[in-house]
Structures are given as C-alpha cells and as structure tokens.
Structure 1
Amino acid sequence: MTTLDVETPHGPALVELHSAEEGTAVLLLGHGAGGGVDAPDLVAAARGATAAGVHVALVQQPYRVAGRRAPAPARQLDAAWLAVARWLGENWFRDLPMVFGGRSSGARVACRTASAGGAAAVLCLAFPVAPPKTPERHRLAELDAVDVPLLVVQGERDAFGRPESGSHREVVVVAGDHALKADPIGVTRAVEEWLVRVLRPLARPD
C-alpha cells in the first residue's frame, strides 16, 4: 500500500493506493459522510477490484483529513474529488480507464462527477436513495444522470431505499442494511464480476 497527500482546492486529501497485478484500470473509492475508507464495504470492494486486475485508490476527503465529521458542501466534495482524479491520472495512472465509486455520500459524489471526470464506469455502494423520513426528497436524478455502466450494491434492508435497474444501471442486492457489513463476500464477488465484464471492452490490445 502507498499513501499519498494530494492537494485540492479545499485542502489536502489522503489517498491509499492498492496495486493489482498488471492493473488495466483504476477504481477510485470515496467514503461515506461520517466514516472513513476503512468501512467494511469499501474494503470488500477494494478486494474485489484488485482480484479483477484493477488498481484501487481509496480517497479520504479533505474535511475528514482535517478531523471534521460533518461533511463539506456537495460542491466542495465534488471539486476535491475531481482534483484527486486529475492528479492521479496525470501522475500515477496515465492512460488507464478510471472507475469512480464510493459508499453512500461517496457514491453520490461519484455519480455527480462521472461526466466531468471522464469516468469509464461508476460503482455505488449503499446509494442513499432518500432519507428514511422524507422519501419524497430522493436523489434518483444523480443516478439517472450517469450514462456509463453503473453498478449499485444495496443491502436488502437499507432504510435509504433501493433504486431500480435501468438501461445503464445494474442493481445487486445483498444481505444487510445501509452499512453493508453482513455479506462482505457478496460485495466482493459482485464488484469483481462487474468490473471484469464492463472493463473487458476497454482492454488495450497486446
């Protein structure tokens, strides 16, 4: 594992790099609003990605690096994320396809920035469709705006709801709730199988 400090418009972000053998792509993973990159589903997803031959960059947002638990505004999260993605593309993973991903709040960031960041695909773990007490305040527009292959891995008892599959969107349901702790093997398997399938057309010829 390699740890990097990356400057962003809103302070330094911290990136943990996990290399895959002969990696053909890189998966950037962001954490939830109040958590870190050690969340069980992020660890499981990273394991699945490296097994699929994909490098992993676990991205800790500047507000968490600074020791704050309350998340920064969405525009700051998005700007910091894109700055990290650009820096990694220029300095570590030149010419490799990038997959944006994350859990909960991090999944929303991945969706919102996918187009601007040129993501080849998007992975959402525990996407928070709507607050449990106000289901009318849903965030489905963020998912619907993604026009590249999109995988959502959702707990069967997630209080934040579950999106439907769509033209670009696959939904895999695993045991557990919003924390996605109950079935890490299921998360790993879903991520590995999906990455192998969606990245195969992007593989560079020998």
Structure 2
Amino acid sequence: MSQCAQVNKSNQDEVVNKLPLDEAIIKSQYFLIQSPLETADLLESECVLDGSPHDTLIIFTHGAGANMHSDYMQDMVKGLLDKGAEHGIGVLRFNFPYMRANVLDGKRRPPDRAPKILKDFNIHIKAIRAEYSPKRIILMGKSMGGRMAAILAADTPVDGVICLGYPFIPLKGGEPRLAPIEECQAPVCVIQGERDKFGGKGQVELWPVMEKTRLHWLTDGDHSFKPRKSSGTTQEANLNAAISHSIDFIRGLDA
C-alpha cells in the first residue's frame, strides 16, 4: 500500500509523522507519496492537497518552467476551491521528477522526456486512486502538464482533462501537437489565451480535431493568460474566466 508522510510546513524537509493517506486530509497539507518502482528504488514525491479528495479530485500538474508552487498554480487552486465548493472539489499538486530535483538543489534542469514523466504521472494517479477512491478524477495541466494529461488519458481511465494553455505548436518548429487531443479517451477542455505563442485564436480553431473539445478563448491572453494593458482586461480577470470555464466543464460531465 502506498504511504504518505505528513510534513511540517515550517520545515518541509523534516518529516514529523507518517500516516496512511486517508487519515491525513487537511487543507493545504503536504504529503510524501511513496510507491515502489519496478527497480529497488522508491519513488518519494511531495504532494499538496487542498480540499477533500473523495468527490471530484483535480490532479493539477505544472508546466515546463515553473513548479507546483508558482503564483499561477496557487491562484488557480484558490479559485477552483472557492467556486467549486458546492461541487465537492479538491485539488492535488505534485512536481514531475526533473522539477523535484530542481527544488532539492536549486538547479534548473529541462523537462524529462515524455515516457519518464508519464510513468511518474501514472504512479501518482494509481496511488491517489487506491488511497482516496475519489468519485471522479479530473486531470488539469498547465502547458506541458496539460499535454501530458491528454496523452495519459488515452489509456488511463479518468473523467476529464483540462488543458490550460495547450502547447500546440513547438517553438522550434514542427507539426502541431494534435495527437494527444485526438487520441484522448476522456472529454477535453482547452482554455487558451488569444495571443498564445503556442497556438492562438484564428489558428487553433481551424483544426478539425478541436471540434471534439470544449475550447475557450481568454481575451488578449498570452501563454499565461496575461493580456496587454491596451486590451481593457487583466490577467486576474482571465484567470477567473479560466476557473469558471473549468468548473462549468466539470459540472457538465454530469449532464
């Protein structure tokens, strides 16, 4: 059985007590999920849980450059909990392997290759599902995290996928990354800034595959949903819109 460790929030390196996951449900609680790998190694991953995990649990993964504690992710979590309270929403975050290493030594590594990230992602989902037995699991990801979520949902049963700023177009060139959305077996919601350099309005909406998704545009937003001052809107307004679209998508899964 996977285990977790309660971590002292004033000193996250100090493990003060070990509990089964289902005995330690506390808002903004830190955990270490431990799971044996195929080798003799043990995966230890710090996770952050906000809200209750037993009804609708959103597993929220970071993008390539910023970890799970970024202002963007924390603002999204707060809004999801505020607006999703009546729907019993909980949010769980964790860092992918390269980001866990970055946090430990302060270095800045590039993302791991997709197979390593997907294996790690799947281990987390299995451990979380086994311990909490949520009624629904929604995968939400920022940029790269959303792409990994869509890929994983091709053969891992989940109830929905929400991509925040999906990286459609590789910046170094190449074909658009449409296969993850085409092959995803769960309902997909894409929330995109109109000026996103990885795929903006007037381009993304022309691809036939997008007809199978819930696609929402955020006014003048860039890859982080930040608009220009001349747009008349703000990043906060766009984040609030993204949160509302996410809650509406989750609510619509019951229809």
Instruction: Indicate the TM-score class for this superposition, using the shorter chain for normalisation.
Output: 0.7 to 0.9
| Of 57, 63, 86, the match for 2:92 | 57
Distance 2:177 2:109 in 1: 22
Distance 1:39 1:188 in 2: 16
User: Is residue 151 of structure 1 aligned with residue 189 of structure 2?
Assistant: yes
The letter of the residue matching 2:63 is: G
Aligned residue for 2:32, secondary structure, equals strand
Say what the alpha-carbon RMSD is for the aligned residues.
2.1
Q: Is the 8 A contact 2:54 2:133 kept in 1?
A: no
Alignment-derived partner of residue 119 in structure 1: 158
Distance 2:216 2:70 in 1: 19
Q: Which runs of 5+ in 2 are unaligned?
A: 1-27, 103-107, 227-234
Please list, as runs of the form range in 1=range in 2, the aligned pairs for 1:29-178 lying within 5 A after superposition.
Answer: 29-50=60-81, 51-52=83-84, 53-67=88-102, 68-91=108-131, 93-134=132-173, 136-162=174-200, 163-164=204-205, 165-167=210-212, 169-175=213-219, 176-178=221-223
Give the drift of 1:15.
1.3
Task: Give identity over the alignment, percent.
Answer: 22
Q: Is the 8 A contact 1:12 1:65 kept in 2?
A: no
Q: How many equivalent residue pairs?
A: 196
| Of 167, 189, 193, the match for 2:244 | 189
Give the drift of 1:7.
3.6
Q: Which runs of 5+ in 1 are unaligned?
A: 202-206
Distance 2:162 2:138 in 1: 7
The letter of the residue matching 2:30 is: T
Larger radius of gyration: 2
Q: Is the 8 A contact 1:48 1:192 kept in 2?
A: no
Greater relative contact order structure (CA < 8 Å, 6+ sep): 1
Distance 1:23 1:197 in 2: 19
The letter of the residue matching 1:65 is: R
Q: Is the 8 A contact 1:12 1:62 kept in 2?
A: no
Distance 1:42 1:85 in 2: 19
Distance 1:16 1:102 in 2: 15
Give the drift of 1:12.
2.8
Q: Is the 8 A contact 2:139 2:161 kept in 1?
A: yes
Distance 1:78 1:194 in 2: 24
- What's the TM-score, normalizing by structure 1? 0.85
Give the drift of 1:115.
3.2
Aligned CA distance change for structure 1 residues 103 and 148 (closer, same or farther; 3 Å): same
Q: Is the 8 A contact 2:154 2:180 kept in 1?
A: no
- What's the TM-score, normalizing by structure 2? 0.70
